[in-house]
Amino acid sequence: MSSDDFVDAQPVPPVEASIVSQTDNETSSATRPQHSRTNFSSQDCVDYPIITVPVNKDTQCYNMHHKRRGDAYIFHHTEFDSNLVLGERKDDKDLLQKLSDILADRLEFNVKVFKDLKYKKIEEEIKKAAHENHKNSDCILFVFMTHGSNDKLYARNTHYTLDPLRSLFTSEKCRTLAGKPKIFIIQVCFSFNNYRGKLNFSFLINLIGQQACRGSLVDEGTLIPLCPNRRISSSAMDGPSIPYKLSTHADFLIAYATVSNYAAYRTWFLQALCKVLDSEENQKDDFLSMMTTVQREVAISFESELGDKQIPSLTSLLTRKIYFTQKEKPRNTLTNRMSCINSNISE
């Protein structure tokens, strides 16, 4: 892979950056600029935002050679308000420390741990992350360690759904992460149905059928205009200097501890994840392959006293391979430690 495969993402001035303003969002589709879905020219850049991505469109791997790996946010919950009638999560504090150390030391993330936050504080921190400038970062990563049910996650005081928060990082909303991996790791159990390891996959077939159509929204994509005379010269890229469209929801990887509607044992998924991430041998693999190894580890190596089984569920919207290549300049060990923000200080 040549150095020409990579071009740093650039922050965009507000005038050029507006895809759809709040007032534009209310405009009917008939008044939007009409463009062919297959053929674009540099003229399209007049009507679309200038969003640059840090990699040539045909490159097989993400650019993981920015100045910094990026931030890893861990939202860890052990205590919940009494009205939620949820048990205390006591037995994963050591796992939290181990995961934090591996993300910081092995993968070179700047790790931030938030403990027992109420929902508004979680929302505030995630929105703050979405508005930061990630130009010099390879990617971003989130971990949620809490109780849950179906599509709900629990904060200290209430439940919430992840999708509205995840959508803050789409390419049209968080432009300095456009074309970069956005990784979400969720350790929650979804219900009290246990999977007994039966050789019957009808529930998966039903699940696929139910998820075939999940709503009426249409992904219109984000135009990536590789326009001459606009930020990127044609000589800076391997491919032709023409714009192309990238799915708005591309470049996400979402990993749940278990499949929908099934229980997850509290530590199995993250134990396996830590084991794989900490292995020298597995470091040679791309991240999706590593997550497949995690799935195999959980599905085969873990079993409860009652014979219960579990398998993590992955949703990959990645468009390239992720390799956590070591940074050329070792980071200062002091800045490589996790920062712990405890919500017990008044909210």
Our answer to whether residue 76 is catalytic in this structure is no
Whether residue 77 contacts residue 116, with contact meaning beta carbons closer than 8 Å, is answered with yes
* Unique residue bearing structure tokens 């005081």: 157
CA-to-CA distance for 142 and 187, rounded, in angstroms?
Answer: 11
CA-to-CA distance for 210 and 108, rounded, in angstroms?
Answer: 39
DSSP secondary structure letter of residue 212: S
Give the angle 156-157-163 at the CA atoms, nearest 5°.
Answer: 80
Query: What is residue 137's three-state secondary structure?
Result: strand
CA-to-CA distance for 41 and 128, rounded, in angstroms?
Answer: 35
Cβ neighbour number for residue 259 with a 10 Å cutoff: 17
Q: Which of 77, 139, 147, 274 is catalytic?
A: 147
Our answer to whether residue 147 is catalytic in this structure is yes
* Unique residue bearing structure tokens 């993968």: 107
CA-to-CA distance for 341 and 255, rounded, in angstroms?
Answer: 24
The number of helices, as runs of H, and strands, as runs of E, in the chain is 7, 12
CA-to-CA distance for 198 and 190, rounded, in angstroms?
Answer: 19
Best CA proximity match to 183, nearest among 103, 296, 285 = 103
- Name the amino acid, one letter, at 130: A
Residues annotated as catalytic (active site), given as ranges: 147, 213
